[in-house]
Chains A and B, each alone.
Chain A
Amino acid sequence: MLDISHLTKRYGKFLAVNDLNLHIDKGEIFGFVGPNGAGKTTTMKIVCGLLDATAGSVTVDGVDALKCSKDIKRKVGYVPDFFGVYDNLKTMEYMEFFGSMYGMGKEEVDAVADGLLELVNLSDKKDVFVDTLSRGMKQRLCVARALIHNPDLLVLDEPNSGLDPRARFEMKEVLKNLGSMGKTIIISSHILPELSEMCTSIGIMDRGHLVTAGHVDEIMNKSDGASKIHIQIVGMEDKDDIRTFMAEQPNVTKVNFTEDEVLVSFNGDEMAVANLLKNIIGRGIAVSGFYKEKENLESLFLEITGGNN
């Protein structure tokens, strides 16, 4: 479906995307993760034909995306990371406006827009002025708009940014539905746990590099090596003592203190964790809480990108 090979983008001397290779199959929901400035938006804009690449190639269904031909524009729908709406324009007119850019007449748009507005849960807002919609609604409207020409590939740049949990949930449902309709979707986001729930595959990008990419399960497994254990201790007076002790334990790679707990980076299997707990208690430390952090994308992300967020 989408093939990116050796994609490189420079802004002047600054390397924003560095030799990126990526393949996304039809029907996949691909989550693009990376810290600010990783090059996600840049990559997505190149895929949509909004930016040219310095080097490399991008094809959507075998069509060269870099030539910015009309063919590619009919295949791709784009939701930018930030966008405004027009004053004095109603929801349905908004859809008609963008539909007409694809050469669709009013009737044609109306026929499609009904279904799309229903999909994004805005059926009751057809005659409302778009600038009065809430941010979440605008975001969903923009998704409906990007689907007006029935594209195969939908590119969404941080569709969840600035949304409250409820709106995020709604957006997530919309995207899940789209996925089940067989659309190929690329989503960039900072909200990692949510991506892992709705994406079929994930790519992690950092400073222009695609650090890792693959099926969600694959990616999650990759991180099995290092997990975090939270230990709460009653009366944590002698931190140095505890630190030294913890650091001596097998499989422990790092020891940190937060306000009320010890955070141990751990590199071992379940049995090793059990042994660690046994040792701690054996030492006479009063443990009041002990749990292994469930690995999620967030920690994986921070791990891979070196702890910067």
Chain B
Amino acid sequence: MKNKIRINPILKKEMVVGSRSMKMSWAIMAVSAILTAIVVFTLLVSQLNVASGATYDYSTLIVLFPVLGIAECIMLSLMVPVITSGSISGEREKQTLDIMLTTPISPFSIVLGKLMSAMMIVMMYMIASVPVMAITFVLGGLSWWNLIGLFIILIYLGIYVGSVGIFCSSVVKKSIAATILTIVIGLAIIIGTSLIYSVSITIMSMYYMTSGNMRPDSLLGPVVVFMFNPYSPIFDFMVRALSDSSIYDMVSSANINPVMGFLYRFWIPISMGINLLISFGFLKLAAARVGNVKTKKAGKVNNKAGNKAVQNTATTNNTVTENTDNQNN
């Protein structure tokens, strides 16, 4: 039809609805308050530590950047599951999901609209945090590229957590349960990959230290696993921002094999790419759950109830009594 680019209908609606609801404003205010508190606290503590008379070295405040950045990431990881928890189940409960499915809009567009709506809130949250973050730049002497980097990280993290959250909402009916499930899945992935990585690296380096022959390529497995950790690029980013080095330098300055060298060097784009693909997978799964008319079966319990109901009608049917007839008037 027209060549005009259309905003996703769901995004448009959620923006109208969201602008009228105070809920998000409160959440953003709370988050900004927490960030401000961290800054104020750090400033107070660092000033106390300075011996009276000595000049205060503001450049130590550079630590505020990773602290605030990680705090922001963690708060985002807790906020987004709440935002997305009712995104699909809520529509399903209202049967508006059924209504949407009788329109030409595709299940994936529905899911995407929900993700974009969540991302709008993430953006608002990011913008609200700029003034507080700016302190670390002015005082700590960081470049603005780091702020842009942090924004990219937050958007990436929002997409990741949002996709998992929307998937959970398509699986679990209750909002609270979906929120918890999202956080549990997230934690399982983060902790799981970290454990595999650190334990295997420890074991292997101990083994190689005793045996003497270093075979760094045998570490490739755990390294690749750690790339699936959605927080690993954030970690690498913070290390790079603070020290002009990277995980690459931290892990080993020894000569490692070229594949691993490559992975470490481009950890941020590779890992982010992998995890965005995983997000896409979660969205696809959610869309499949939304649009699947075949799996819309209720559980076995329901089936049994249905069968029983039929048996009941069958028996009453055979013994139509005076009473049933009397009720008919």
A85 at the interface (CB under 8 A from B): yes
Inter-subunit contact A83/B95 (CB<8 Å): yes
Within 8 A of A (CB), among B274-329: 293-294, 296-298, 300, 302-303, 306-307, 309-310, 313, 316-317, 320, 322, 324-329
Q: Which secondary structure characterizes the binding site on chain B?
A: helix
Which of the residues B6, B16, B296, B327 comes within 8 Å of A103, measured between beta carbons? B6
- Complex CA gap A35/B310 in Å reads 11
Inter-subunit contact B101/A49 (CB<8 Å): yes
Q: Which residues of A contact B100 (CB under 8 A)?
A: 101
Minimum CB–CB distance for A298 against chain B, Å? 8
Within 8 A of B (CB), among A1-41: 11-14, 16, 35, 37
Q: Which residues of A contact B215 (CB under 8 A)?
A: none
Inter-subunit contact B293/A88 (CB<8 Å): no
Q: Which residues of B contact A93 (CB under 8 A)?
A: 13, 16
Which of the residues B13, B95, B310, B320 comes within 8 Å of A307, measured between beta carbons? B320
Inter-subunit contact B296/A51 (CB<8 Å): yes
B17 at the interface (CB under 8 A from A): yes
Inter-subunit contact A98/B103 (CB<8 Å): yes
Inter-subunit contact A84/B95 (CB<8 Å): yes
Q: Which residues of B contact A37 (CB under 8 A)?
A: 306, 309-310
Q: Which residues of A contact B329 (CB under 8 A)?
A: 230, 258, 263
Closest to B105 in A: A101
Inter-subunit contact A308/B94 (CB<8 Å): no
Mask of A270-309 contacts with B, CB within 8 angstroms, 1/0: 0000000000000000000000000000110010001111
- Complex CA gap A37/B312 in Å reads 12
Q: A11-B302, A50-B293 are in contact. Are A85 and B99 (CB under 8 A)?
A: no
Q: A52-B294, A76-B102, A258-B329 are in contact. Are A11 and B306 (CB under 8 A)?
A: yes
Q: Which residues of A contact B6 (CB under 8 A)?
A: 100, 103, 105
Closest to B19 in A: A88
Q: Which residues of A contact B21 (CB under 8 A)?
A: 87-88
Mask of B11-39 contacts with A, CB within 8 angstroms, 1/0: 01100110011000000000000000000
B93 at the interface (CB under 8 A from A): yes
Which among A55-63, A67-75, A159-167 touches the partner chain?
A67-75
Within 8 A of B (CB), among A113-137: none
Q: A100-B9, A306-B316 are in contact. List 5 more A-B contacts (CB 8 A).
A: A11-B298, A35-B313, A101-B100, A102-B103, A263-B329
- Give residues in A with beta carbon < 8 Å to B: 11-14, 16, 35, 37, 45, 48-52, 68, 70, 73-74, 76-78, 80, 82-89, 93, 97-98, 100-103, 105, 145, 149, 207, 228, 230, 254, 256-258, 263, 265, 298-299, 302, 306-309
- Give residues in B with beta carbon < 8 Å to A: 1-2, 4, 6, 9, 12-13, 16-17, 20-21, 93-96, 98-105, 293-294, 296-298, 300, 302-303, 306-307, 309-310, 313, 316-317, 320, 322, 324-329
Lowest 10 A-B CB distances belong to which pairs?
A84-B94, A100-B9, A101-B103, A306-B317, A88-B20, A83-B95, A70-B104, A78-B102, A307-B324, A101-B105
